[in-house]
Amino acid sequence: MESDARPPPQKREAPGAEARFSFDRMAVERFQQAFPRARWSDERRSWFVPGNTAARRIDRWLAKEVALRAPHDDSKGRDAFAFDPISSRYLEIADDLRIRTPYSRTVLEELRAVPWASWDDELRAWRVPFRSYEELRRRWPNVEKAAQLAEPEERKLRRAAARNTEAYKAAQKRAAERRRHRYPLPVQDLPTLGRAVATEQYGIVVAGSPGGLGDILDRLRNAGAGDQVDSWVSKGSNRPVQRDQVEKAIDPQTLSDLAEQTGLSHDELLDRLTRELPDAVDKLTPDGQLPAGNGPDLLDEVPGAGRT
In which band, very low, low, confident or very high, does the pLDDT at 116 lie, cut at 50, 70 and 90?
confident
Amino acid in position 280: A
Domain boundaries, the chain: 16-78, 84-150, 213-301
Note whether 242 and 275 are within 8 A (CB).
no
Where in 137-225 does DSSP place strands (E)?
196-199, 203-206
Calculate the average pLDDT of the chain.
Answer: 80
What pLDDT, on the 0 to 100 scale, is given for residue 2? 41
Q: What is the pLDDT of residues 77-91, one digit of tens each?
A: 999 999 999 999 999
Using CA atoms, how far apart are residues 101 and 99, in angstroms rounded to an integer? 7
Predicted model pTM: 0.41
Q: Is the pLDDT higher at 257 or at 100?
A: 100
Q: What is the pLDDT of residues 34-61, one digit of tens each?
A: 999 999 988 888 899 999 999 999 989 9
The H-or-E segment that residue 245 falls in is helix 243-249
CATH topology (fold) of 213-301 = Arc Repressor Mutant, subunit A (1.10.10)
Q: What is the pLDDT of residues 182-239, one digit of tens each?
A: 666 665 555 555 455 556 655 555 455 555 677 778 888 888 888 888 888 887 788 8
The mean per-residue pLDDT over the stretch 90-96 comes to: 93
**Four-point Cα dihedral 285, 289, 293, 296, nearest 10:** 0
